[in-house]
């Protein structure tokens, strides 16, 4: 059995939300499987993101990466993060790297949270990597069968945090 080269990656983003009375709603993004070149049964799978996020470039800080990714994936600028919330979602997978060699990836996806501005619906322009965005009350989002357990954990952590503040 070959020993795989290990690569560590960091992605950064944010859970974007609104509040109305006691209800918290979060912005969810449905990935476009064609953009990700998924085939077979994977092409039929619905993949939901709990907010815009993406790969950190070497010259960027985590927060700069998150701001860039929010802009690239939603068109939204000038969001400020609530510094009291940060959630690291960690997972591992094997893939084929550059040159065709197999690589074991240890990935950290770091999320902050940011309140959506008034009039955000007119400002959002989603990127080609997503089919659509939609707002969902947080408790309903946590119950979605299309949402991976690790993403549900991030939303539960966010809900607990936002209920305190």
List residues bridging with 14 in a β-sheet.
112
How does pLDDT run across 125-155, given as a tens digit for each residue?
999 999 999 999 999 999 999 999 999 999 9
Cα dist from 7 to 10, 65, 91, 102, whole Å: 10, 19, 12, 11
Per-residue pLDDT band for 96 (boundaries 50, 70, 90) equals confident
Which CATH number is 44's domain given?
Answer: 3.90.79.10
**How many structural domains compose the chain?**
1
> What domain range includes position 39?
5-164
Q: What is the pLDDT of residues 16-43, one digit of tens each?
A: 999 988 899 999 999 988 777 888 888 8
Q: Which residues contact 164 (CB under 8 A, 6 or more apart)?
A: none
């Amino acid at each position: 059995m070959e020993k795989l080269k290990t690569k560590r990656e960091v992605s950064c983003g944010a859970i974007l939300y609104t509040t109305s009375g006691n209800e918290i709603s979060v912005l969810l993004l449905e990935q476009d499987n064609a953009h990700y070149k998924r085939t077979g049964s994977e092409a039929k799978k619905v993949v939901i993101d709990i907010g815009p996020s993406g790969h950190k470039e070497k010259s960027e800080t985590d927060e700069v990466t998150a701001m860039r990714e929010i802009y690239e994936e939603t068109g939204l600028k000038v969001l400020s993060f609530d510094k009291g919330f940060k959630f690291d979602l960690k997972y591992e997978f094997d893939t084929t790297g550059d040159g065709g060699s197999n690589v074991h990836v240890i990935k950290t996806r770091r999320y902050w949270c940011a309140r959506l501005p008034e009039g955000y619906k007119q400002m959002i322009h989603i990127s080609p990597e997503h089919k659509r965005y939609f707002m969902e009350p947080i408790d309903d989002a946590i119950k979605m069968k299309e949402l991976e357990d690790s993403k549900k954990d991030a939303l539960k952590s966010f809900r607990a945090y936002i209920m305190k503040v």
